Amino acid sequence: MGSTAPRQSPKPKATPPEQKKPSVLRKLFPAPTDDLPATAMMKAVDLEDIDDDDYDDEPQSPPKLPPLPEPDPLLQPTALSKRPEPLLKPPAISSRIDLLDEPVLPRQPLPEGDAPRPGKRDRTNDTTEKGVIGTRVRGFKCARQHLNDPRVAFCRVCGLRMDQLTGILSEDVRPPLGLLVVDDGTTFVLDNDCVIGRDPENSDAARRGLTPIRLQDSSGGMSRAHAEFRLIEWDVAVVDRGSTNGTHVRPPGALEWTRLAPGQPFTLTPGAEVMVGGRTVTFDSPHAHL
């Protein structure tokens, strides 16, 4: 018979190490690494090594804080002073306007329609050698019944277009044709023929009904009644009255002055300048912007 191998005796089982009973801290605060695999790079503090006797259940009193410094009396808020009483007292009842015994005078009614304003001369019915001041001319009326120069495309008052009307001429009192603007800023409305000079009130033109316009001139080159501004239909013309130094005109855009022949009307365009003596007058009209 063949030889048999000797039977080996069973090895004794290793007894597991004695497990420690978990402490109170382990129950309250489980370690975050209990569910993680143990590695060489992870280090955890074993709460089992901490003895429960190291903690006392009795609460400890908080540490004492140093006493607060006493407040500075200079920094303390002071009491607000009382509001001063007003120096002015309300008026007495006897001085109220609505309790006065004086009667209230009635106000004059305002002028209605085309009635002249107080202090302004009404020239509508004035008559002269030439006829009635407030000359009636023919023109086109806009939709709001404003009389206009038939040569313009827009109303001088309201700005409405004039080319959509029937083109029927209407006769009515002519409106002012513009302004005379003196070099010192003074303006005169051109609603009537006028005479200009250093003493035009005593001239024959003023006696005929022309409006006198007096200008001060220190150059000595202005005559008593130097020139006239005449309203001819819808145009404004200047006429030299035979003055010693003449009347000069410079149209808009011109560089040189032109001396007028005495007694010959020269039609002005808006923006034209007229020199009488040492003064300059500019003609301005609303038709220049239409």
pLDDT of residue 69: 76
**Which residues, 6+ apart, have CB-to-CB distance to 178 below 8 Å?**
190, 236, 270, 283, 284, 285, 286, 287
Q: How many helices (H) and strands (E) does the chain have?
A: 2, 16
Are the CB atoms for 182 and 281 separated by under 8 Å?
A: yes
pLDDT of residue 269: 93
Name residues of the chain where pLDDT drops below 50.
Answer: 1, 40-42, 94-100, 113-122, 124-132, 290
pLDDT of residue 184: 93
pLDDT of residue 142: 85
- The pair phi, psi for residue 25, each rounded to 5°, is -65, -35
Average per-residue pLDDT for the chain: 74
Domains of the chain, CATH where assigned? 125-175 (no CATH), 176-290 (2.60.200.20)
**Which residues, 6+ apart, have CB-to-CB distance to 130 below 8 Å?**
193, 208, 209
pLDDT of residue 80: 54
In whole angstroms, give the CA distance from residue 200 to residue 261: 20
pLDDT of residue 70: 76
Condensed to tens digits (0 to 9), the pLDDT of residues 28-45 reads: 556 555 555 555 444 555
pLDDT of residue 161: 82
